[in-house]
Amino acid sequence: MARPIPRLAPVTTTERPPSPRSMPSPLGARLILRVPSDGVHLAYAARDTGTDGAGYPPLRERLVSVTLAFEESVVIITLSPEGGLHNRASIASLGDAAKYIAGRIDGPSALRAVVVVGDFGRGWADDALAELDGIPGVEALGAGVQALADMPQPVVAAIAGVCHGPGLEIALACDIRLAATTATFAAPETGLGTLPRAGGTQRLPRAIGRAQALRMLLTGDTIDAPEASRIGLVSSVLAPEEVEAAARALVRRIADRGPIATRMGKEAVQRGAEMTLEQALRYETDLTVLLQSTADRAEGVRAFAAKRPPRFSGR
């Protein structure tokens, strides 16, 4: 079970936050946060202020690249890399956001589903190649995107525009991808004499198959949304004005279902894909047995018998 995010005491503009002291419940019906891109943990930025969560003066001017909006049990991640170009800071920002959300799976403020919207990005900033030189920089990128892929909650991406390079890698870390007719996709890194830096060479073939992935990776060709749908990169293509609303509606439907079951369903698919069929079937059985002991499973059975909507508690 994930450890709750600790509550931190107030700080001044010259102090670092002290050690955790108690457990907070900082999320209201809707809370907007700006995510620190330099690795400062979100528990600091998200401490309860009694307002809209924006009262964190020491960090206000440093919180960039990602916005989180909480609507009941759903969280919306909005991406906004400067000029549509990613660097180490923007990816670290996304990783911090993902880790924060991943820790909110229990209690009255539990987050059950995630939607990613905004500008996925068209490439790397000019300073990114030098900034990411060497193993530490490349590993930092992988860790930031991996944090998104590792989130226990189902994640839906709504892609309305350019989704190239690091933007494509971010989209690949999401579980379900919806695209607008205006969206385009590309993995152009080999044209720069390099490779995707955040898992693209591994997640792309797992999403669309080896042949199609190699075509994209080795040519750098840009594909449009209908082609992305044809090869299985996205599951739906919608009008630009509809794609975000469709993604939000989808995550709300997911959030209404048994939260433990949806998390385990995601886990079964992700981990099972790396196993033999025999191993994966055993893993599915293990997860099913675990679900049998939950209060949510009992509630689901009662609700079905009573012909009423279930009231899942996440326990």
34 forms bridges with which residues in the sheet? 67
Q: Which residue has the tokens 């690949």?
A: 172
Other Cβ atoms less than 10 A from the Cβ of 127: the count is 11
Name all contacts of 21-30 with Cβ < 8 Å and 24+ positions apart: 24/48, 25/107, 25/108, 25/109, 26/53, 26/109, 27/53, 27/70, 27/104, 27/109, 27/111, 28/52, 28/53, 28/70, 29/70, 29/71, 29/72, 30/69, 30/70, 30/71
Nearest Cα neighbor of 63 from 84, 89, 87, 86 is 89
Residues with catalytic function: 169, 189
Structure tokens of 224? Answer: 């449009």
Amino acid at 44: Y
Nearest Cα neighbor of 244 from 118, 95, 98, 135 is 118
Q: Which residue has the tokens 């995510």?
A: 35
